[in-house]
Chain A
Amino acid sequence: MATAHMNMAGRLARLCLALAMAAAILSGRGAVAADFGGDVISERLFGTVDFLSDESYEQPTSNTKVADPIEPFNRAMFVVNDKFYIWVLDPVATGYSKVLPADIRMCIGNFFYNLGEPVRSVNCLLQGRFRDAGRTLGRFVINSIVGVFGLADPAGNEFSIAPRYASFGQTLWAWGIGDGFYLVVPLIGPSTLRDFPGAVVDGVAAATYTPPWSDNLYTAIAVQGLKTVNRVSLHLGEYQRVQAMSVDPYVAFRNGYYQMRNKQYERSDAAK
């Protein structure tokens, strides 16, 4: 009896894990960047993009374009992730969105985001963004207490402390470590040789203070799955829309990932 129970739980957990990963990858646009809270990067590596200067519209250079030496592998993974999104993640998230109203799903999203705040705060410290580190920690305290375990965001709405982006990938960037090259991670999505390990470090760090879940691999995976399905459910249709309007979706997502991440890095750098 106990074994059967565990088997089922295990299967469920595995399914959720897979879903979560797929969701992360597929939501491509918002999800990838938002999930790991990627943050500030500097002009040194990216070159600041100024839309008012014509240089932003010259042919992409190494400053504005990510190196992609393993493009054949990446393209294959892009197809895998695409299938996973279309066949698994999107249907599951669609069903989920029909069961839970958007308000509740947003609260669940807030809850997960809040759990990541201490990691973000530490990353801010490591990058020398002391004010952001304080603000992020303040958000965590306010939202955990007043916002009922982070389900609401009174820090942002009532105290006007806007969320700050920070991730370990960004910290590595701030320390002068380059991107390496573009990497499409199976079930996770667009990343780079630097930012993907960075995201793993952030995830492991967050697991250290979210005890009941980190004890058991399956539970951790299930939680990750819920997080992913929840996020995808708030962005349904976006992936398909980007796909539909792109002539070469692989390049469109690569470029979109890079532009969006650079923007986050620049914005947080400017706030220092």
Chain B
Amino acid sequence: MLPNKQLYQQINGSTRWKYGVPMRRNSAITPVLCACLLFLLVVLGSRSGVAAAPDPTEQLRPFLAKVTAALSDPGLKRMTKQQQCDRMIGVIRERFDFQEMSKRVLGQQWRNLADKEQQEFELLFTQLLQYAYVGKVDDYSGQQVQFIQQRIRGDRAEVQTQLVDRNKSIPISYIMLLRNDQWMVYDVVAEGVSLVRNYMEQFSEILRKDGYPGLVKQLKGKIAELEKNFNKS
């Protein structure tokens, strides 16, 4: 919305121009114009989802509080391993976008997969994460989450936190995507190591050597192994 010279001249009368920019004169119409412009900005801004977007930290905070509350719930310890797992994944799903994660972890390969294969991969990858992380409820010993800062660019955001223990604090960043007013996590960066990029390199080598069927086979094998150890422990 660059100022239109003619329009300006019509409205403001004899506005003088210098270096192509109107030299403003106080006139009754200027505040009205400003108000219109402001209104337009707000309307346009909210439509593109930037100006009116919810705050990522404010959405992540109650979510992480819920996760830590679920982890320290004494009832959780009385459940069977499988119930614990299902309970935790239910809480996590609220703000983790496993489809977006699966998509990014395969990179360009994702587009080469049929819809059915994409769904299959998403299911397997979610299961892998479920057993590898979500099932580790015993590892939780009252660590607290501190929020450090956040960065927003367009519909992406990074919220930096510290997981604080008596002995150490681990920096953890949540990488999020804005979806229908909800910031959804699609990557977790612990001590500078991105979970998605780490799995991406593992998977891309398997895909290169054995193709998609090979990857599915390896994933299934890994999940079976984790499941076995999981139910044993």
Contact = CB atoms under 8 A, between A and B. Distances in A.
Interface residues of B, number: 38
A261 to B, nearest CB: 8
A15 interface: no
A15 to B, nearest CB: 27
Nearest to B223: A247
A201 B68 CA distance: 44
A156 to B, nearest CB: 12
Interface stretch (A52-60, A124-132, A173-181): A52-60
Given A51-B187, A60-B204, A259 B198 contact: yes
Contacts, number: 89
B193 A247 contact: no
Most chain B beta carbons < 10 A, residue from A53, A244, A247, A259: A247
B201 A52 contact: no
Interface stretch (A80-88, A219-227, A248-256): A248-256
Contacts of A248: 202, 205-206, 218
Interface stretch (B12-20, B140-148, B153-161): B153-161
Given A58-B108, A59-B108, A247 B198 contact: no
Nearest to B157: A52
B132 interface: yes
A260 B193 contact: yes
A251 to B, nearest CB: 5
B167 A58 contact: no
B204 A256 contact: no
Nearest to A256: B193
Contacts of A64: 197
Nearest to B222: A247
B8 interface: no
B76 interface: no
A255 B201 contact: yes
A106 interface: yes
B70 interface: no
B151 interface: yes
A264 to B, nearest CB: 7
A244 B153 contact: no
Contacts of A247: 128, 199, 202-203, 206, 218-219, 222
A243 B182 CA distance: 33
Given A52-B153, A245-B128, A260 B192 contact: yes
B214 to A, nearest CB: 11
Nearest to B156: A52
A236 to B, nearest CB: 12
A271 to B, nearest CB: 15
Contacts of A29: 191, 193
A54 B51 CA distance: 22
A241 B230 CA distance: 12
Contacts of B199: 247
B67 interface: no
Contacts of A121: none
Given A58-B108, A102-B167, A247-B219, A51 B194 contact: yes
Interface of A: 29-30, 49, 51-53, 56-60, 64-65, 102, 106, 234, 241, 244-248, 251-252, 254-256, 259-260, 262-264
Interface of B: 104, 107-108, 128, 132-133, 136, 151, 153, 156-158, 167-168, 173, 175, 187, 189, 191-194, 196-206, 218-219, 222, 226, 229
30 contacts: A29-B193, A30-B191, A49-B194, A51-B187, A51-B189, A52-B153, A52-B175, A57-B104, A57-B107, A58-B107, A59-B107, A59-B200, A60-B197, A244-B226, A245-B133, A246-B198, A247-B128, A247-B202, A247-B218, A247-B219, A247-B222, A248-B206, A251-B201, A255-B201, A259-B193, A260-B192, A260-B193, A263-B191, A263-B192, A264-B192
Given A259-B198, A260-B191, 12 more contacts: A29-B191, A51-B189, A52-B153, A52-B157, A57-B107, A57-B197, A59-B200, A245-B133, A248-B218, A252-B198, A255-B202, A263-B192
